[in-house]
Amino acid sequence: MAKKPILTTTAGNPIADNQNSLTAGPRGPLLLQDYQLIEKLAHQNRERIPERTVHAKGWGALGDLVITADISKYTKAKALQKGARTSMLARFSTVAGELGAADAERDVRGFALKFYTEDGNWDLVGNNTPVFFVRDPYKFADFIHTQKRHPRTNMRSPTAMWDFWSLSPESLHQVTILMSDRGLPISPMHMNGYGSHTYSMVNARNERVWVKFHFKTEQGHRHYTNAEASEVVGKNRESFQEALFGAIEKGKFPRWKLQIQVMPEKNAGKHWYNPFDLTKVWPHGDYPPIDVGYFELNKNPENYFQEIELAAFSPSNVVPGISWSPDKMLQARIFSYADAHRYRLGTHYEHLPVNAARCPVHAYHKDGPMRFFPAETGNVDAYYEPNSFNGAVQDERYKEPPMEISSEAADRYNHRDGNDDYRQPGDLFRLMSRESRERLFNNYADAMAGVPVEIIKRQVAHCYKADPAYGEGLAARMGLSARIHSSPVAV
């Protein structure tokens, strides 16, 4: 076997660890000095033009968020107070497909929401799944590469996808959801949405809690089988767009119930799972969902390009009372999304009408492409800060309480050490009916067509560790035999 070359940065510097971000302790947060993490994220944002690098194909509408419950003990966010009504924009999307891809493909769906609050824009950029394929942002660009076209064939590569997933056991939870019935909803209206990450809320007493956001469809869950989706795609590549646009035009306004899970700040280290791990859910038995309100989509855009294609969502946009957590993936996205928009739309993308805040904005960003608006600092002579010309100033009333972080040494901690990546996928499998399991195995088989058998064996072994019946069922469907032990599958 030929000797493998040493991985380096683009400047030729050898890389010692390409699996784990540099963090302050094993649970984070990230350190900005992790140059290669920033480099990978920034480079990925510039790999394709002009469409979005991921989530290129999307459908959207406008509506309102309505709060019906009192959660003021958790948050001081004005948009989340009982009786509040906030204008919003929603964009749904597929992850892997390009701008011209068919809507009805098996894929994770993006679920991006922009709320135009009186304290500025609040963006919640999630998916229709509560978890994701990776937990460390160091691996995000690598994962997305597997979803795009092979550099030689210029075709999607199932081998690349399954090779990566089978080498990344933390992906099994998301893969199980993707290969289940919920991996192919019939429309945006018939799927849930999730903030996915752990966020934080701060109340008027400056007390913090950790929180998960859930948006439960009120239209019910409906899904296609692969065969049904193939028939749909053969007739209409825009089935999601047609369904969403048509429903709103007919006055059948879709709704989603807003729920939150709330964890006391001090509970973060009390469970077998890391609450800041994007591949894990918080069991409802530990933290029951709390009803908060709903959002309704009741208006189609007048111009799709201006209101949906130019829309830019970023987890960096939070408002007083809502903030972040040590979730490594979330922290990377805080940088990566805004940077992607600066590249795709321009330096001042947040001044485009669809992205513009509907409250006063006072900032010191200067010049550059698309500088089509006047100074926002409060005085034309105040173009720096601090200044003596009545320019905008900070206000310590909006300071968040300090966040306690690990005092352990900064290092590249192996995120798989001591991490149970099989319990929750197994729990999900055990909830499935016999018919749902059969469809799960069939969906795996369709997705694995042409994949080398050694990669299939590796994936079956992960499924077996989650539940023996999971591994045995997949092995049988793939024409393999599974032995009842921890290293199953033999041809």
Query: Which amino acid would we find at residue 457?
Result: K
Cα 212 from Cα 65, distance rounded (Å): 17
Query: What's CA 27's distance to the chain center, in Å?
Result: 19
Are 292 and 249 in contact, with CB atoms under 8 Å apart? Answer: no
Return the H-helix or E-strand segment holding 60.
Answer: strand 58-67
Under DSSP, is residue 440 helix (H, G, I), strand (E, B) or coil? helix
Report the SS3 class of residue 54: coil
Q: Which of 55, 214, 341, 462 is catalytic?
A: 55
Active-site choice (20, 45, 121, 127): 127
The alpha carbon dihedral of 59, 64, 70, 73 has a sign of: positive
d(CA 46, CA 48): 6
CA angle 184, 189, 192 (to 5 degrees): 70
Tell me what percent of the chain is helix, strand and coil, each rounded to the nearest 5: 30, 20, 50
Structure-block tokens of residue 74 = 């958790």
- Say how far apart CA 21 and CA 44 lie, in whole Å: 16
Known active-site residue 271: no
- State yes or no: is 127 an active-site residue: yes
Which residues participate in catalysis according to the annotation?
Answer: 55, 127
